[in-house]
């Protein structure tokens, strides 16, 4: 058995990562990815799903466990799976973003992901990381403490995954294909969902509405994920308050609120006490979109909290914020702070070795298609997106990780800029269609970092193309969110606002509409790591980048070798 697992974990070097975790277990799953026809909104729609369910299976592990997931691709599409928020220490091979850390798993092929879950507790999730497939290929990844350790909050009566998503009355790959043919954004979703169900405010949806039965006086831990493709969401439960105790699998000081704001890619642990009179109460989610320039889905998804022993009665509906309620969203997203007494918390690293100022914008590329109708950007162009005016465009011949590991030239260049090429009034609406600023260039440029260096990034939203909130996700790391604000970041005064004592620690930050966010992390995880906007509409357009963290001084701080049967392009 020992020889079997040593081979399965593709080398004893991987086992060294887990050698100190004597209480760890091996948690093994099989993901069968294939098409599934299900009914929603009065239609029968074919989707791609895992193990015949939407959402897919919930993975439940304990901190220190090794996870083995066999992915059998029986769908007509290429697939990769990303374990969102898992650090994957020295093991980028298991991270999943297509053409960054791996080539896709081709139709009819299989691949086994193997990784450790260490120094993390809370709610994360997994999802497809190619094209638009994560609209239906996703599920929760719950990391409980080891048996000898308890939560840093009162133990709840029950733990309940609450996954927020979006639904299209069409095959999402067709939605993307139609958008690409037109050179325009994909069509808006037809509904939002709670645990895969739109809820009874939509047509033909009452019977499937998600219901949670609760006992009066008991406390429930809602393990929340925003798996939506295009929308930051408000979430409320009628007549109840909630207490946030963790974000992105990082413990927080308890924060009590009646409204949650959660961006795509973010996860959250929330305590809900069933302290209201017997009855039924809606949980509901709707869009937060503080920009006047973006068209969005204005519908509301619902689930029902039903008290055991209550008589039948119509559920009470919460009073949701206005779609454009920037104040409520900003207050929630900036008031969260880290629980510094929690396990695995680390102080803000100092001093800073690498400083980056990264502008985020929606841009244009010249029309390179024979039919001008396929170029529906401004002035018959193709819509693109960029960071520091580089629209990320990876090679499909070899992943960046393999090119780095095997020293293959021509796949990427190590010259991602630390600053934008032009300084301008980033958030002025006057620049939304500034012809001099809109053009961008394609490239697979990466930023190379020394092992253990401290990196500080200012994410600066711009008005280019449109003014939006961009949830920026970094693979392989959690980062300290030092400050967030509106307008243009001021390097002379805004550092005075930095929280260097107990800033929130997370892997996805919602950069405010027409504003900025400052994050800091220590580059102590060797390998290749993707950074991108989690509004899925922007990733195919190029709103992404890559960090390469060089090896450390010891074998234990160096990128492990690739596994056998690694997917080939």
Q: Is 424 helix (H, G, I), strand (E, B) or coil?
A: coil
**For position 4, what pLDDT does the model report?**
31
β-pair partners for 387? 360, 390
**Whole-angstrom distance, CA of residue 206 vs CA of residue 163:** 18
**Whole-angstrom distance, CA of residue 156 vs CA of residue 22:** 27
Q: Are 539 and 473 in contact (CB under 8 A)?
A: no
CB atoms within 10 A of CB 266: 28
**Whole-angstrom distance, CA of residue 556 vs CA of residue 16:** 7
CB atoms within 10 A of CB 7: 11
Q: Are 471 and 265 in contact (CB under 8 A)?
A: yes
Q: Are 490 and 54 in contact (CB under 8 A)?
A: no
Query: How do the pLDDT tens digits run along the chain, 569 residues long?
Result: 333 333 344 444 444 344 344 468 999 999 999 999 999 999 999 999 999 999 999 999 999 999 999 999 999 999 999 999 999 999 999 999 999 999 999 999 999 999 999 999 999 999 999 989 999 999 999 999 999 899 999 999 999 999 999 999 999 999 888 887 777 778 899 999 999 999 999 999 999 999 999 999 999 999 999 999 999 999 999 999 999 999 999 999 999 999 999 999 999 999 999 999 999 999 999 999 977 777 888 999 999 999 999 987 899 999 999 999 999 999 999 999 999 999 999 999 999 999 999 999 999 999 888 888 888 788 888 888 999 999 999 999 999 999 999 999 999 999 999 999 999 999 999 999 999 999 999 999 999 999 999 999 999 999 998 888 999 999 999 999 999 999 999 999 999 999 999 999 999 999 999 999 999 999 999 999 999 999 876 666 789 999 999 999 999 999 999 998 899 99
Question: What tokens were used for 339?
Answer: 């629980």
β-pair partners for 17? none
Task: Characterize the bridge pairing of strands 267-273 and 242-247.
Answer: antiparallel
Question: What tokens were used for 220?
Answer: 């429930």
- Scanning 337-472, the segments in alpha helix (DSSP H) are 400-406
**Whole-angstrom distance, CA of residue 141 vs CA of residue 526:** 23
β-pair partners for 442? 391
Q: Are 205 and 197 in contact (CB under 8 A)?
A: yes
Q: What is the CA radius of gyration of the chain?
A: 23
Question: What tokens were used for 34?
Answer: 């294939």
CB atoms within 10 A of CB 136: 28
Q: Are 438 and 387 in contact (CB under 8 A)?
A: no
**For position 23, what pLDDT does the model report?**
65
Give the Cα-Cα-Cα angle 354, 357, 362 (nearest 5 degrees): 140
Q: Are 187 and 179 in contact (CB under 8 A)?
A: yes
**Among residues 537, 132, 180, 175, which one has the least CA distance to residue 368?**
180
pTM: 0.95
CB atoms within 10 A of CB 204: 13
Question: What tokens were used for 77?
Answer: 């599409």
Written as one string, the DSSP assignment of 99-155 is TTTB--B-TT-EEEEEEE--S--EEEEEEE-STTGGGTSEEEEEEEPPTT---SSPP
**Whole-angstrom distance, CA of residue 211 vs CA of residue 201:** 14
CA dihedral angle for residue 26, residue 163, residue 271, residue 237, rounded to 10 degrees: -170
Peptide bond between residue 351 and the one before it cis (omega within 30 degrees of 0): yes
- Write phi, then psi, for 290 (nearest 5 degrees): -85, 5
Phi-psi label, residue 258: left if phi above 0, alpha if psi -120 to 50, beta otherwise: alpha
Q: Report which secondary-structure segment, H or E, holds 13.
A: helix 12-18
- Whole-number Cα distances in Å, 455 to 352, 417, 448, 515: 6, 14, 11, 20
- Whole-number Cα distances in Å, 133 to 3, 125, 136, 137: 36, 15, 6, 6
- Counted residue by residue, the chain has a size of 569
Q: Can you say whether the dihedral through the CA atoms of 335, 340, 343, 347 is positive or negative?
A: positive
**Whole-angstrom distance, CA of residue 300 vs CA of residue 199:** 8
Q: Are 224 and 267 in contact (CB under 8 A)?
A: yes
Q: Tokens 């939407």 identify what position?
A: 54
């Amino acid at each position: 058995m020992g020889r079997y697992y040593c081979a399965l974990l593709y080398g004893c070097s991987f086992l060294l990562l887990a050698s100190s975790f004597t209480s760890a277990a091996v948690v093994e799953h099989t993901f069968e990815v294939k098409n599934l026809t299900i009914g929603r909104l009065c239609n029968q729609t074919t989707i791609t799903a895992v193990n015949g369910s939407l959402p897919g299976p919930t993975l439940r592990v304990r901190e220190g466990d090794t996870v083995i997931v066999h992915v059998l691709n029986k769908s007509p599409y290429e697939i990769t799976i990303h374990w969102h928020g898992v650090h994957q220490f020295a093991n980028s091979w298991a991270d999943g973003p297509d053409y960054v850390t791996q080539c896709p798993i081709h139709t009819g092929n299989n691949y086994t992901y193997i990784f450790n879950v260490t120094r993390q507790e809370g709610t994360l999730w997994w999802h497809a990381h190619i094209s638009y497939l994560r609209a239906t290929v996703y599920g929760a990844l719950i990391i409980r403490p080891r048996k000898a350790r308890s939560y840093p909050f009162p133990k709840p009566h029950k733990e309940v995954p609450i996954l927020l998503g979006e639904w299209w009355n069409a095959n999402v790959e067709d939605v993307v294909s139609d958008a690409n043919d037109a050179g325009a954004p994909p069509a808006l979703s037809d509904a939002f969902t709670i645990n895969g169900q739109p809820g009874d405010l939509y047509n033909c949806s009452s019977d499937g509405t998600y219901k949670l039965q609760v006992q009066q006086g008991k406390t429930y831990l809602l393990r929340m994920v925003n798996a939506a493709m295009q929308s930051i969401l408000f979430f409320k439960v009628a007549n109840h308050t909630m207490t946030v105790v963790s974000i992105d699998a990082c413990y927080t000081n308890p924060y009590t609120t009646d409204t949650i704001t959660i961006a795509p890619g973010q996860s959250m642990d929330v305590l809900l006490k069933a302290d209201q009179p017997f009855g039924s109460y809606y949980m509901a989610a709707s869009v937060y979109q503080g920009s006047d320039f973006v068209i969005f889905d204005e519908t509301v998804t619902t689930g029902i909290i039903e008290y055991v022993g209550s008589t039948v009665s119509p559920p009470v509906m919460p009073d949701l914020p206005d779609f454009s309620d920037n104040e409520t969203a900003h207050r929630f997203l900036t008031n969260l702070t880290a629980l510094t007494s929690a396990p695995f918390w680390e102080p803000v690293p100092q001093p800073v070795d690498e400083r980056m100022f990264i502008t985020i914008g929606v841009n244009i590329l010249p029309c390179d298609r024979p039919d001008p109708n396929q170029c529906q950007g401004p002035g018959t162009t193709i819509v693109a997106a960029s960071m520091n005016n580089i629209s990320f465009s990876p090679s499909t011949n070899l992943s960046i990780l393999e090119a780095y590991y095997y020293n293959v030239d021509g796949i990427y260049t190590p010259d991602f800029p630390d600053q934008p090429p032009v300084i301008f009034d980033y958030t002025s609406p006057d620049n939304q269609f500034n012809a001099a600023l809109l053009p961008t260039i394609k490239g697979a440029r990466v930023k190379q970092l020394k092992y253990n260096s401290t990196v500080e990034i200012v994410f600066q939203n711009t008005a280019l193309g449109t003014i939006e909130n961009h949830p920026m996700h970094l693979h392989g790391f959690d980062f300290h969110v030092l400050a967030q604000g509106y307008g243009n970041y001021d390097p002379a005064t805004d550092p005075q606002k930095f929280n260097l004592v107990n800033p929130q620690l997370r892997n996805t930050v919602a950069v405010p509409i027409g504003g900025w966010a400052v994050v800091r992390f220590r580059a102590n995880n060797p390998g290749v790591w993707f950074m991108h906007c989690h509004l899925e509409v922007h990733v195919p357009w190029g709103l992404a980048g890559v960090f390469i963290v060089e090896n450390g001084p010891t074998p234990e701080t160096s990128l492990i070798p690739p596994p056998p049967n690694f997917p080939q392009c």
